[in-house]
Every structure is written in structure tokens, then in C-alpha cells.
Amino acid sequence: MAVRLLISVLVILLFSFTYASDPAPLQDFCVAVKDDEAKVFVNGKICKDPNMVSADDFFFPGLNMPGNTSNAQGSKVTPVNVNQLPGLNTLGISLVRIDYAPYGLNPPHTHPRATEVLVVVEGTLFVGFVTSNPADPNVKNKLFTKTLYPGDVFVFPEGLIHFQFNVGKTDAFVFAGLSSQNPGVITIANAVFGSDPPITLDVLTKAFQVDANVIKYLQAQFN
């Protein structure tokens, strides 16, 4: 009996972890109301009146069009999450298209609420992610990398820092699915050196073990 109970608990925990990112929906759909039209603030989005829902609430056009990569990083992320496609509300999923110029970079970043699975459509990408801090302070964070070609798939675990770099001489693009209606994104360099107000020099010089002028130079790149 105790063994059966233990197995049951383990199965429940397994299914709980499977749906850990977003809660399961309690109805067929819950089309999101725009934030500026909402009368209350909730964890997520409030539901549109079902009688006012239309097919357009579940539709987003244009992912066949390449994004504009004319920027310092040479990449463009086109998101399709609950903010662009309100029908995704409560469904625990979203996607992006990412375009890369030759040698373009989607810089190190993390999604605090989602695992990401990426498939290469065109181009050659060098991708990777870094593990969280090991329990042993003498062990370094481990980097996993792979060179991807069209048709290849790679997964970035939830919350871990990851990146993609176009190592080819031609444009590249991918599609990626994420396990949250609103995965969030924290671009590491922007967050550390471009926050408003800025993180103090005392903190950053000690954290990075560099001179204050180095920190000032880095902050200047993001302001």
C-alpha cells in the first residue's frame, strides 16, 4: 500500500512539473483584454466576454516576413505571445520568429517563465546555454553549445542564460516555441549595464572585479 501511495505521489508530482510554467485553463478559452482596457490587475490577463470573441482573437499574420536586422546586434525577434495574440491567454504557449544578419547575434538572455525549443529554417547558428550556479562553489557553470543547420532543433531550459549567433555569411532565421503565454526576457548586458536608475559603480566594480572606468564605458553603451 505504501509503495502504491509513493508511486501515486510521484506521478502527481511528475504531471505537476509538466505544467509548472503556466496554470491549466479552466475553460475552453480566455481571450485577453488589453491592459489599458482592464478594470482590475490580475496575474496574467482577464478574460474577454466570450460573446465578444471572434476568430481574429486567435489569429496573427505576418511571420513569413523577415524582421529588420539593421541594428547593433544584427538580429530581430518577432514575438507572438499573449500581448500580440490575445487568444493565447491561459494556454501556456507562445512563439517567436528570430532573424539574423550575417554574423548577427541574439545576445545572452534568459526567459524567466519558459523553456524554449528552437528550429532552424535557414542559415547556420552557433547556439548555447549556461547552467545555473553549481552547489559546489569550486565548480564553474557549464556551457553547452552546438552548431545548428536547417532542420536542426535545440532546446534551452527554462530560466537559463542562452544565445544564438549566426556564423554564416548569409541571413538566417528560426522559429521557436516557448512554454508560457508570456515568457518574459532579460537581456543580460542591457539589464546589468542599462537599468534605470543604473546599478551603482560600487556594486558593479566589485561584482566584475574591474576598474570603475570600465563600468562607466559599458554603461555608456546602453544609454
> Is 111 annotated as ligand-binding?
yes
> Is 133 annotated as ligand-binding?
no
> Is 109 annotated as ligand-binding?
yes
> Is 106 annotated as ligand-binding?
yes
Contacts of 134 (CB under 8 A, 6+ apart): 140, 141, 142
Helices (H) and strands (E) in the chain, counts: 4, 10
The backbone torsions φ and ψ at residue 196, rounded to the nearest 5 degrees and listed phi first, read: -130, 110
Taking Cα atoms as reference points, which of 18, 35, 26 lies closest to residue 182?
35
> Is 51 annotated as ligand-binding?
no
| CB distance 81 to 21 below 8 Å | no
Taking Cα atoms as reference points, which of 127, 104, 103 lies closest to residue 117?
127
C-alpha cell at 93: 504557449
The C-alpha atoms of residue 201 and residue 208 are separated, in whole angstroms, by 10
Annotated binding site: 106, 109, 111, 116, 162
Annotated binding site for oxalate: 106, 111, 116
Annotated binding site for Mn(2+): 109, 111, 116, 162
